[in-house]
Structure formats: structure tokens, C-alpha cells
Amino acid sequence: PIVEHPRITVIGVGYLGATHAVCMAALGYDVLGVDVDESKIEQLRAGRVPMYEPGLEAKLGEALASGRLTFTTDMDEAAAFGDVHFVCVGTPQAADSQAANLSYVEDAFSALAARIDRKALLVGKSTVPIGTAERLTALVSEISPLGAELELAWNPEFLREGFAVEDTLHPDRLVFGVTSEWADRQLSAAFAPILAQGTPVVRTDLSTAELVKVAANSFLATKISFINAMAEVCEATGADVDLLAKALSYDTRIGGRFLKPGLGFGGGCLPKDIRAFAYRAEELGVGQAVAFLHEVDEINNRRRVRMVDVIRDLAGGNLAGKTVAALGAAFKPNSDDVRDAPALDVARMLYLEGAEVRVYDPQANKNAHRRYPDLNYSGSMADAVTDADVVALLTEWDEFVDADPSMLGDLVRTRRIVDGRGALDRGAYLQAGWEFRALGRPAHT
């Protein structure tokens, strides 16, 4: 039998899980958020979101007030509560290889399987190597007192940081990796309000569902590295990659999204996902099919090195003793996430060459400081740029893009700026007397 209005548990309330739990409650379901991290649960109960995500805290407040969303650290409670259990725990890169660390996923499924004693659906949302869901199916039916009655589905998530609520409530598509009619119908019941919007659903086997996720992120990463590879060619020829990207973007087969050249991609997903995918493909004997992902990764990493080269060049060939204002630390604007952040990586490289680096990010200073305590952190953009020899735009926050070049010019020691994100108004800077460099563009002084 299908539960038409299922009770939902969400195991793991990090980025993905917290967003999913809050949005499911907003859609009218009774939701229990579960995590082993006591302090995370305490914060969420108190209406605080442990990361910076526009709009999420307001939605959390509404969900708590409605009484539809509660939190626990108790797995017994979770197992008893849910008709549909979403597993949203992390799959970080393993400490000793490029593979994904699956221990949190395995623990979550095992813990649920050992405790659930009535028909329920377990749904994996975490990004996992292909074949994991099938392996977990076997594990679950072995552990569960219900045996194969306890079914498993895979439902990858495509939300972007900074747009998490919007992407969850209005996804481009849903992917249901299901192995039975019952699982399909039960999962559909858990997404009824989103299906009612006319959202396309692609129903697949488990492996295809897993693959859609890593294929999508691989495609996006490849698109970014493609334009950044063109930036390298532009730098060798005096061509302008921003104009190139613009001209390419009008071809509707190519399109302009994810074609923005600059410092490249970072964050907790794209870099680790392409590495884990390449690793898994090797294991499956099809490493050659995705060997290009190594190149995608390399191109991406070379942008950071190139950025340091341009900054050093502008500083007169040597960074020792020079003051560099590093504007941005997060891997992208509207986020406080510094995982694999190109910005912070550049700041660290500058520091290692002897520069005095002053990092300022509107939201990520705290996380950046935790990651690299040796760098200097400024409380404002004005503090960071005061007496700077070079200003480096590393994350394109509005606050930086909208800053007035003359006002900034009055604070710095020398008016020199490098735009690592192709985000600044070059004309305005040149007019205000700045030496202006940008990745992938000819130098203008």
C-alpha cells in the first residue's frame, strides 16, 4: 500500500539535508530531520541555519512555527517516524585517494535497516559512485528484519548553493531511480506538490540515477574548463576570452551558462565529483572513457597558478613584502563555503611567496580563517584594500563588483587590480587611473 501523504525523515542535515527537510515541510509534509551532530541539531531547533544560504533561515523559521518540522539525534525515533527516509549524508573525498568516502552513507542505511520494522522506502540522495545503490540494496536486505521488503530508491539532487531553496522547490527535473512500481508510486507521493507543477520526471534504474548526477556535474565542470582552456589560448595570442565567450553564447546549441571564464570551479561538489567519477570509471574498466576529466581538473587548477603569475607580474615580478588585497574567499558569491575554493587557494599561494595577504569575504572569513589561520583577515573591503600594492578580485560578490574604482583608488597604495572573475567594469577602472589585468584578456594600462 502507498502512503499518500508520507511522513518524511531526512538523515543528515548538512547543506543538502537541511534544505531538503525545510522544503519538504514547506510543501506540507511532516518532517523529522536527523543527524549525529548534536550541535547542528540544537542550532536547527533554535531556527539557525549553520551555513550561509539566502532564504533558508526564513523558511526554517516558518517550518518550525508550523509544527511540521522537528529534529532529533535519535535513530530509533527516525526509524519509527518515517514512511519515506531520505539519506542526505556527505560523501567527501577519501583522505588517501580520489575515491569517495562512503562510510557515512553505509552507516546511515545500516542504522535504518536494523531498526525499521514496517514497510518503508529508503531513498538515497547523496552523490555516490555508480553501483553503490545496488550494493546498499543487498546490505539493507541482509540487515533488515523485513528482508527485501524494505526497498531502496535513488533520487539525486541538483541544487546549487546560493539557490538551494529555489532549486529544491522548483527543480528543472526529478530523477527517480526505482526498482519497483511500489517504490515509484511511494516516491511520487513524496514529491506530489512538485510533480503537480509539471516538473519532468525521468524514471530510471539505480545505476542510471547515480550516473545522471555525476554526469551532470562532469558536464558543467567540462564546460567551465573548456572556456578556461580558451582563456589560456587567448593569453598566448592577445585575444579576449570574454568577447569569445560572448560570441559563442549566442549559438543556442552552446549557450552562455557555465561558460564564464575566470578562476574556475571549486566547492564541495564539482571538484570531488569529477575525481570520484574518474576513479570509479577506472575501477569499472572504462577509465579511458572519462580520462578527459583529469584534463578538466588540470585546466581548472592551472587558472589559480596563472592568477598568481599575473598578480606577481603586476607587483613588479616579486611578491615578497608586497601587500595584496584578496577580495573573496568563498568558492562563489552568496556562499560561505571555502571547500576547494579557488579564491582561498590563490590567497595561500600569494602568502607562500611572501606577500602580505589581506583576505576579505562578506560571509566566508570565518570558514577561511579556520582553514588557513596564517593569512590576515580584514573586517571590511576598505580595510583589506588600504595601502594595498595590488588588489585581486577572487570571488565576484556584488559588494566588490559594485565598488567605486575612485573610492577604492583613494585607499590603495598603488592602483593595480587583477580581475580573476571577469566581473569588473574595465573601462571604469581604466578611467579612474588603475592598471587593470584580467585572466584571459590582453593587458590594459
- What residues are labeled active site? 269
Cβ closest to ligand UGA, residue 181 vs residue 251: 251
By CB under 6 A, what part of segment 321-350 binds ligand UGA?
331-332
In 287-416, alpha helices (H): 292-314, 342-352, 365-371, 381-385, 398-401, 405-411
- CA atoms of 386 and 413, how far apart (whole Å): 7
In the Cβ-directed half-sphere of 169, how many Cα atoms lie within 13 Å?
Answer: 14
Tell me if 280 contacts ligand UGA by CB under 6 A.
no
Alpha-carbon distance of 222 to 220, in angstroms, equals 5
Contact status, residue 56 vs residue 49, Cβ threshold 8 Å: yes
Q: Is 35 left (phi over 0), alpha (psi -120 to 50) or beta?
A: beta
Q: Is 275 in the site for ligand UGA (CB under 6 A)?
A: no
Among 81, 86, 154, 265, binds ligand UGA (CB under 6 A): 265
Q: Please identify, using beta-carbon distances, which residue of 388 and 394 lies nearer to ligand UGA.
A: 394
Identify which range of 133-141, 194-202, 203-211, 254-262 contacts ligand UGA by CB under 6 A. 254-262
Residue 440 sits in the site that holds ligand UGA (CB under 6 A): no
Alpha carbon 326 to chain centroid, angstroms: 21
C-alpha–C-alpha distance, residues 224 and 330, integer Å:
18
* Sole window of 60-68, 118-126, 259-267, 404-412 interacting with ligand UGA (rule: CB under 6 A): 259-267
* Residue 86 interacting with ligand UGA (CB under 6 A): no
Binding mask 214-253 for ligand UGA (x = CB under 6 A): ---x--x---x-----------------------------
Which of positions 124-153 make contact with ligand UGA (CB under 6 A)? 127
Contact flag: residue 159 with ligand UGA (CB under 6 A) = yes
Estimate to the nearest angstrom the gap between the alpha carbon of 196 and the chain centroid.
Answer: 28
Query: Which of 12, 124, 129, 264 is close enough to bind ligand UGA by CB under 6 A?
Result: 264
Residue with cell 611572501: 354
Shortest distance in whole angstroms from residue 15 CB to ligand UGA: 8
Taking a C-beta distance cutoff of 8 angstroms, is the pair 345, 302 a contact?
no
Q: Which of 35, 22, 11, 19 is nearest to 68 (CA)?
A: 22
Region from 82-90, 177-185, 256-264, 383-391 binding ligand UGA, contact rule CB under 6 A: 256-264
Residue 288 is classified by DSSP as G
Residue 293 is placed in which grid cell? 576529466
- Give me the least distance between CB of 255 and ligand UGA, in Å please: 11
In the DSSP assignment, the letter for residue 203 is E
Binding-site size, ligand UGA (CB under 6 A): 21
Q: Would you tell me which residues interact with ligand UGA (CB under 6 A)?
A: 127, 157-161, 217, 220, 224, 258-260, 262, 264-267, 269-270, 331-332
